[in-house]
A = this chain, B = another copy of it.
Amino acid sequence: MTALGIIAGGGRLPLAVARSAQEAGRAVFVVGLRGAADEALETFPHAWVSLGEVRKLLTLLRDRHCEDVLFAGRVARPRFADIKTDSKGLLLLPRIVAAARKGDDALLRAIADVLTEEGFRMVGIAEAAPGLLAGEGPLGRIQPDADHCADMDRAVTVVRRLGELDVGQAAIVCDGLVLAVEAAEGTDAMIDRVAQLPETIRGTPSRRRGVLVKALKPLQDGKTDLPVMGVATVKKAAAAGLAGIAVEAGRSLVVDRAAVIAAADASGLFVMGFAPSSRST
């Protein structure tokens, strides 16, 4: 089997993917995006590129005998004027700029298209590291009650509707009221601002209320940007007084599962995977 090429953006996800694939017996080669990826990736076979160095990226992946390639981790929309490009990157730049104007997903899809045209097979994290996928049901010892389930349903509806517009992946609902919806600021910032809302409309660490839901956008194919839950998500949700976090089973990733469960149990939050079919209206 050939090596798995991992194009690594920010956050802990690329490392978790590399570790999971390696544990399953697969060789990995990690290409870190300069300015985004964590230096900890240097514990794996690796190289660094800038987002515009497309020829260098292609050459690296070929030299290391990668046929399967995936994206993992956060990629901030670049300032195009500042991108370091090589000849191939320069050729592709107009197409990528045009895609980027439509949203971050469109940008990643455009780069994936280039790799596919060059003969690589784009694979999803779900395929390459299935051990990271969220399953159905509670992960820790805390279970949602009927109110939490109602909030979860409403949040799923909001997230799906927004996803259709390529807006964001997450929303927080408390007692039927939509407290926050994610757009360009990202999930962490969205959770933080719920902690700033009046306590009349949200939960507190001593009386937890409200649910965070993350789900894949319908436009996403699951190869570029699966929703992620990690320890940082749990800690922020705990600080914002939420009762729990629900991600879509089979289409969301749990990074550092044991630590996620420990953090949730310690704070009294539920963390769970909801069935894709059962909670969409």
Task: Name A residues whose Cβ lies closer than 8 Å to a Cβ of B.
Answer: 76-79, 101-104, 157-158, 161-162, 164-168, 171, 175-185, 189, 193, 196-201
Contacts and interface: CB of A to CB of B under 8 A. Distances in A.
Contacts of A162: 158, 161-162, 181
B76 A177 contact: no
B76 A200 contact: yes
Prevailing SS type, chain A contact patch: loop
A243 to B, nearest CB: 15
15 contacts: A77-B201, A101-B176, A157-B165, A158-B165, A158-B167, A167-B178, A167-B181, A168-B181, A171-B183, A177-B184, A178-B183, A180-B183, A180-B184, A184-B197, A184-B201
Report the 9 A-B pairs with minimum CB-CB distance, sorted nearest first. Answer: A79-B200, A101-B176, A179-B184, A181-B181, A167-B178, A178-B183, A181-B183, A180-B183, A77-B201
A198 B166 contact: no
A215 to B, nearest CB: 15
A179 B186 CA distance: 10
Contacts of A184: 177-180, 197, 201
B103 A176 contact: yes
Nearest to A81: B200
Nearest to A202: B184
B158 A178 contact: no
Contact of A101 (B177, B182, B185): B177
A189 B180 CA distance: 11
Contacts of A183: 171, 178-181
Contact of A193 (B166, B167, B185): B185
Contact of A77 (B165, B196, B200): B200
